[in-house]
């Protein structure tokens, strides 16, 4: 699943855009952005265990996206 982006609707109706990009040497750059929100959560993983699935990427941001 190299270099993908998708939109998911959370249970509370908010939409989140996720981006996953594979980096050299098993790294990954992942982001999550709430629709209409200027805040973007971004993480560089140095040992990602590529390829990551959508559930892996989404679960990484679970705490940031819950209850806001």
**pLDDT mean over 8-19:** 94
pLDDT at 67: 65
Ranges of beta strands (E only) in the chain are 4-9, 15-23, 27-34, 40-45
pTM: 0.88
pLDDT band of 2, cuts 50, 70, 90: low
Provide the edge-to-edge strand list for the sheet that holds 15-23. 4-9, 15-23, 27-34, 40-45
C-alpha neighbours within 13 Å on the C-beta side of residue 40: 9
For 18-63, how does the pLDDT look when each residue is reduced to its tens digit (9 = 90+)?
999 999 999 999 999 999 888 899 999 999 988 999 999 999 999 9
Instruction: Delimit the domains of the chain by residue range.
Output: 4-61
The single-letter DSSP state of residue 41 is E
**pLDDT mean over 1-29:** 91
């Amino acid at each position: 699943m190299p270099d993908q982006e998708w939109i998911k609707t959370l249970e509370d109706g908010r939409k989140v855009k996720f981006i996953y990009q594979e980096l050299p040497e098993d790294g990954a750059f992942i982001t999550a952005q709430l629709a209409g929100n200027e805040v973007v959560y971004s993480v560089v993983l140095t040992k990602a265990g590529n390829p990551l699935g959508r559930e892996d990427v989404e679960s990484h941001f679970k705490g940031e996206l819950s209850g806001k």
